[in-house]
Chain A
Amino acid sequence: MVLDNIEKLLEKYENGETTLKEEAQLKNYFSQETVAPHLEMYKPMFQYFLGNQKEQFTKDLPLKPKNRFNYKWLSVAAVAVLMIGFYFTTSIIDNNCNDLGTYCEPEEALEEVSKQLAMISNHFNKGTQAVGYLNEVDKGTATLGYLNEIENTTKIIFKK
């Protein structure tokens, strides 16, 4: 009776109609020591299937946590760099404004400017003094005016 059942199952099996349960049943039957002689040739097949289930993958996996570059941190770093940059540039301007030739205090600046202007006007005055000599030239030309008198007199003489 059992054999009959197995034969039916084998037929179904070959047509691909068996369920997993029925296939397990077949595998079970053929894993016995003694099988009906006319079904002997199925034995290696099912034994092979069962034996093959036990084969294992033994190679180990080199799983390294991959260090993927995180772009979030890049933006954080950029902001940090910018902020540090701003901080230092402003402090440089604050501390060393004398180095750049300017004055930090407006009063000091005014004083310095008026000093400079005074110096300029001083030198200007010197220049105008030098120009004063032109007056002498004027005098010279004035004396030349006497030559006209001489001309007048010579004209009178020749008319007569």
Chain B
Amino acid sequence: MTQTEFLNIVMPFKDKVYRLAKRLLVSTEEAEDATQEVLLKLWNNKAKIQEYKNVEAFSMTMTKNFCFDKLKSKQAQNLKIVHSNYEEKNTPLQRQVELNDSASWVGKIIEELPEQQRMIIQLRDIEAYDYDEIAKMLDMNNTAVRVTLSRARKTIREKLTKTHNYGVR
């Protein structure tokens, strides 16, 4: 397989890989690194690429696993500082600025969701995969995907309604 053939296979979904990685890892740089890593892994195993039934789904699964590994190692490395006794009464400035930009506010809300829900929102609402594909990528069954998705959507809506009302008042 030549470089151009490989790129032709990879091009259509490399952005999706990147966006999923970014959804999970948050930071742009880390998402870029992860995408690069995943695509290089594919390139190194290019001899086996024809055996995979669905290269795209396979790469998404790879990305998911890779990001989970990254997150796990990060958790192991970093010391978490949790302020349990500190609470700011006023809305922080940062937050006020964000409120103006409601689209980025949605991003923040999604960031707060559990990883599983984040991934499913990403795959369904942004990348528009169908349920079977998502189920295959995440190694879940169809109903579980729907339930998780529904939960995530409801959470987003609730939080949005809250901030919306807050903005109005």
Contacts and interface: CB of A to CB of B under 8 A. Distances in A.
Nearest to B47: A68
B6 A59 contact: no
Interface string A27-59: 000000000000011111101110111011101
Nearest to B105: A44
Interface in B81-108: 102-107
A76 interface: no
Contacts of B9: none
Contact of A57 (B18, B107, B147, B156): B18
Interface residues of B, number: 41
B56 interface: no
Given A14-B153, A20-B128, A42-B157, A55 B18 contact: yes
Interface residues of A, number: 29
Main secondary structure of the interface of B (DSSP, over half): helix
A61 B39 contact: yes
A111 B67 CA distance: 89
Contacts of A40: 164
A48 B106 contact: yes
Interface string A8-25: 000001111100100110
B115 interface: no
B146 A52 contact: no
B141 interface: no
B43 A63 contact: yes
A23 B129 CA distance: 11
B26 interface: no
B126 A49 contact: yes
Interface of B: 3, 6-7, 14-15, 17-19, 22, 32, 35-36, 39-40, 43-44, 102-107, 124-128, 130, 145-147, 149-150, 153-154, 156-157, 160-161, 163-164
25 contacts: A14-B153, A14-B154, A16-B147, A23-B125, A41-B157, A41-B161, A41-B163, A41-B164, A42-B157, A44-B102, A45-B156, A47-B103, A48-B104, A49-B125, A52-B19, A53-B126, A53-B127, A56-B15, A57-B14, A57-B17, A59-B32, A59-B35, A61-B39, A63-B40, A63-B43
